[in-house]
């Protein structure tokens, strides 16, 4: 499905693809395969690690903040105090390293990656950060409830009974973080050029994206003289 805004930007050759995804849709796996097929740089968990390096904090702590809001009690209290473990010294004055600060650092990485081009960016509000930017193609990957439940059961067999609750709560946290930081609805169709049901399979998804984004390899016959 194509956006109604910024369609003119697609006249420029696509050199950035963003992939947002429902939890359990295997959208991240698709993004990895797409980047490999295109021979492009992949930015996924590297964005979180990069934010941790920039802020000088433990990568494990940064991972705990990935695609989620800070707890309500932290948001309420941070205007009064900063806990030492959350404070970084980047940029001169001390700054609290929380989910909002991390998203700021991640957005900088996304913008820099888009300038360089030839990259596939996974989640973290990339479609919002690059909305309307020429040369960018935005994808939202979803799946049926049963397919996501099957994935969760295989991935976390000891927590199979919690599948529906975990799948829903993960996406709620992800949506809340994007809403707070970008003032956008994470699953809004208007943000994306294409919506893909991962149940069609990775090969079909890659082919669809390559054709829709103008990234198909030239047919071999075109190089053969008449």
Domain-embedded: residue 1: no
Domain-embedded: residue 108: yes
Element (H, E) at 96: strand 95-96
Residue 90: φ, ψ to 5°: -70, 145
Cα distance between residue 225 and residue 9, in whole Å: 34
The predicted pLDDT at position 72 comes to: 35
Neighbours of 213 (CB within 10 A): 22
Give the three-state DSSP class for 9: helix
Domain-embedded: residue 220: no
Residue 194: pLDDT above 70?
yes
Q: Which of 37-51, 158-172, 175-189, 208-222 has the lowest mean pLDDT?
A: 208-222
Q: What is the CATH number of the domain that holds 70?
A: 3.40.50.300
Domain-embedded: residue 177: yes
Domain-embedded: residue 75: yes
The predicted pLDDT at position 217 comes to: 64
Domain-embedded: residue 2: no
Domain residue limits at 79 = 7-215
> In this structure, what token pair is assigned to residue 144?
């049926």
Any residues with CB less than 8 A from the CB of 3 and at least 6 apart, and which? 138, 190, 191, 192, 193
Confidence band (pLDDT; 50, 70, 90) for 69? Answer: low
Q: What is the pLDDT of residues 132-186, one digit of tens each?
A: 899 999 999 999 999 999 999 999 999 999 999 999 998 998 898 889 889 999 8
Domain-embedded: residue 226: no
Residue 73: pLDDT above 70?
no
Number of structural domains, the chain? 1
Domain-embedded: residue 222: no
Instruction: Please identify which residue in the block is written with the tokens 């989640």.
Output: 123
Distances (CA, A) of 226 to 38, 218, 219: 29, 16, 14
The predicted pLDDT at position 101 comes to: 82
């Amino acid at each position: 499905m194509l956006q109604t805004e910024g369609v003119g930007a697609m006249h420029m050759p696509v050199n950035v693809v963003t992939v947002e995804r429902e939890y359990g849709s295997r959208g991240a796996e698709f993004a990895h395969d797409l980047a490999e097929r295109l021979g492009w740089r992949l930015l996924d968990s590297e964005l979180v690690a990069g934010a941790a390096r920039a802020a000088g904090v433990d990568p494990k702590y940064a991972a705990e903040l990935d695609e989620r809001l800070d707890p309500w009690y932290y948001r309420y209290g941070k205007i009064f105090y900063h806990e030492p473990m959350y404070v970084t010294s980047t940029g001169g004055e001390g700054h609290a390293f929380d989910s909002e600060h991390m998203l700021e650092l991640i957005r900088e990485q996304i913008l820099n990656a888009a300038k360089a081009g030839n990259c596939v960016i996974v989640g973290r509000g990339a479609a919002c950060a690059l909305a309307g930017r020429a040369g960018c193609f935005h994808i939202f990957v979803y799946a049926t409830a049963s397919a996501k439940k099957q994935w969760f059961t295989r991935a976390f067999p000891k927590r199979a009974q919690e599948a529906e609750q975990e799948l829903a709560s993960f996406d709620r946290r992800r949506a809340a973080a994007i809403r707070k930081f970008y003032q956008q609805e994470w699953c809004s169709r208007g943000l994306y050029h294409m919506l893909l049901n991962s149940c069609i399979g990775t090969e079909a998804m890659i082919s669809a994206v390559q054709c829709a984004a103008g990234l198909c390899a030239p047919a071999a016959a075109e190089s053969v003289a008449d």
